[in-house]
């Protein structure tokens, strides 16, 4: 029994934060941001909404795309590092907003790799035959952990959500293979210091702006390029797939220079690389899911196409998969 994506959906907030807007907040410029990151604008979640709202909207679209009803979903996995709250899980909150009852729900924390991690968990559970339809949601409000006084990080991040329905797939279609990895020894390169059990919230943590993301960019750049390109090469080699066989390559949308470096080392020409980084920036776990949905809806992916996705994020984590697409856009 194979498993794959039978429905895909995404959602981004209406509010746009442009590079021109950021020029008024920090010492930066549109030229500097575009030349170093490829980002022109990003979406920002309204103050009265949270990750679960974005995820629910994406899930509704994925359910509709799959042609099923919400009550046919048998599990919800939510990949997020910006949950509504520490507990309960954002997956449980999404369950309630979708009007579904009596199914297991849990959150998954793998940062930018979360969507691919979630797809792999769902794939394996469906392939056991125990579950028929599993909803995987990646929902992020990265603006809530962004320090808008730090010009090195605030230009990078945006908000959004993606969702996919994983179910049994007939024939030679579906998620063919997934490669997952992590290196906890690098956990100090990308993290939010405060808010957990190690450093609970206090007046001091707030004053020192320790509830915002901290990043060692130059070191991360090198590790990201190597980890993602190595992941792509490994998964293609073990499935006897050449880069020429890939119809579309969907990398994590973090930095255009990272994407170019990964494509070059993996042997994939840029004309096969899907990009939407200029519109959204880095939406963490939601990035590759939103890109996948846009690629399908725009006709860049057709039934039978081989696609490869790859991500890299805090943990540090990385993930790559190969999918033979099973439906028309």
Q: Domains of the chain, with CATH numbers?
A: 2-172 (3.40.47.10), 176-324 (3.40.47.10)
In the chain, the percentage of residues whose pLDDT exceeds 90 is 97
Q: Which two tokens stand for residue 103?
A: 């199914």
Q: Is residue 318 a contact partner of residue 231, using CB atoms and an 8 Å limit? A: yes
Is the pLDDT confidence value at 236 over 90? yes
- Range 205-230 average pLDDT: 96
Annotated active-site positions, please?
112, 252, 282
Residue with structure tokens 């943590």? 205
Confidence band, pLDDT 50/70/90 cuts, at residue 329? low
Strands (DSSP E) along 195-286, which ranges? Answer: 214-215, 248-251
Closest by CA position to 18, among listed 158, 189, 211, 216: 158
Distance CA 152, CA 315 (A): 20
Q: Which two tokens stand for residue 91?
A: 């997956």
State the DSSP code for 304: T
Is the pLDDT confidence value at 278 over 90? yes
Chain segment 7-56, per-residue pLDDT in tens? 999 999 999 999 999 999 999 999 999 999 999 999 999 999 999 999 99
CA distances 117 to 4, 110, 120, 179, Å, are 14, 7, 5, 9
pLDDT of res. 217: 87
Question: If residue 131 lies in a helix (H) or strand (E), which one and from where to where?
Answer: none
Residue with structure tokens 């846009």? 294
Is the pLDDT confidence value at 65 over 90? yes
State the DSSP code for 64: H
Distance CA 243, CA 32 (A): 32
pLDDT of res. 207: 97
Distance CA 243, CA 187 (A): 31
Q: Three-state SS for 96?
A: helix
Distance CA 167, CA 7 (A): 9
Chain segment 265-277, per-residue pLDDT in tens? 999 999 999 999 9
CA distances 235 to 8, 64, 179, 222, Å, are 23, 31, 6, 20
The burial of 197, by beta-carbon neighbours within 10 Å (0-12 exposed, 13-18 middle, 19 or more buried), is given as exposed
pLDDT of res. 171: 85
Question: CA-based angle 155:156:161, to the nearest 5?
Answer: 125
Over the chain, what is the mean pLDDT? 97
Chain segment 69-78, per-residue pLDDT in tens? 999 999 999 9
Q: Which positions ≥6 away from 113 have C-beta within 8 Å?
A: 180, 252, 285, 311, 312, 313, 315, 317, 318, 319
Report if pTM > 0.75. yes
Q: Is residue 231 a contact partner of residue 237, using CB atoms and an 8 Å limit? A: no
The dihedral through the CA atoms of 202, 205, 113, 252 has a sign that is positive
Distance CA 46, CA 32 (A): 27
């Amino acid at each position: 029994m194979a498993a794959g994506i039978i429905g895909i959906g995404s959602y981004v907030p209406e509010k746009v934060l442009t590079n021109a807007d950021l020029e008024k907040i920090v010492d930066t410029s549109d030229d500097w941001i575009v030349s170093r990151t490829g980002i022109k604008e990003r979406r920002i979640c309204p103050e009265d909404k949270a990750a679960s709202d974005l995820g629910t909207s994406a899930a509704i679209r994925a359910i509709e795309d799959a042609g099923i009803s919400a009550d046919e979903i048998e599990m919800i996995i939510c990949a997020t590092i910006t949950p509504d709250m520490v507990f309960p899980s954002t997956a449980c909150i999404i369950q309630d907003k979708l009007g579904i009852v009596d199914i297991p729900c849990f959150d998954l924390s793998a940062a930018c790799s979360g969507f691919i991690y979630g797809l792999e968990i769902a794939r394996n559970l469906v392939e056991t035959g125990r579950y028929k339809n599993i909803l995987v949601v990646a929902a992020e409000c990265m603006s809530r952990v962004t320090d808008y006084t730090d010009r090195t990080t605030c230009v990078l991040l945006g908000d959004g959500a993606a969702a996919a329905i994983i179910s049994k797939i007939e024939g030679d279609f579906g998620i063919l293979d997934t490669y997952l990895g992590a290196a906890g020894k690098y956990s100090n390169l990308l993290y939010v210091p405060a808010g957990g059990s190690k450093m609970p919230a206090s007046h001091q943590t707030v004053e020192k702006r320790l509830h915002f993301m901290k990043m060692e960019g130059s070191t991360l750049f090198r590790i990201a390029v190597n980890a993602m390109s190595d992941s792509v090469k490994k998964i293609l080699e073990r499935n006897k797939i050449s880069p020429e066989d890939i119809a579309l390559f969907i990398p994590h949308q973090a930095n255009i220079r990272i994407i170019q470096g990964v494509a070059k080392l993996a042997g994939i020409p840029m004309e096969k690389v899907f990009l939407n980084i200029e519109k959204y920036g880095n939406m963490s776990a939601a990035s590759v899911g939103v890109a996948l949905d846009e690629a399908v809806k725009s006709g860049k992916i057709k039934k039978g196409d081989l696609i490869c996705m790859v991500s890299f994020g805090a943990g540090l984590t990385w993930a790559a998969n190969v999918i033979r697409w099973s439906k028309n856009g």
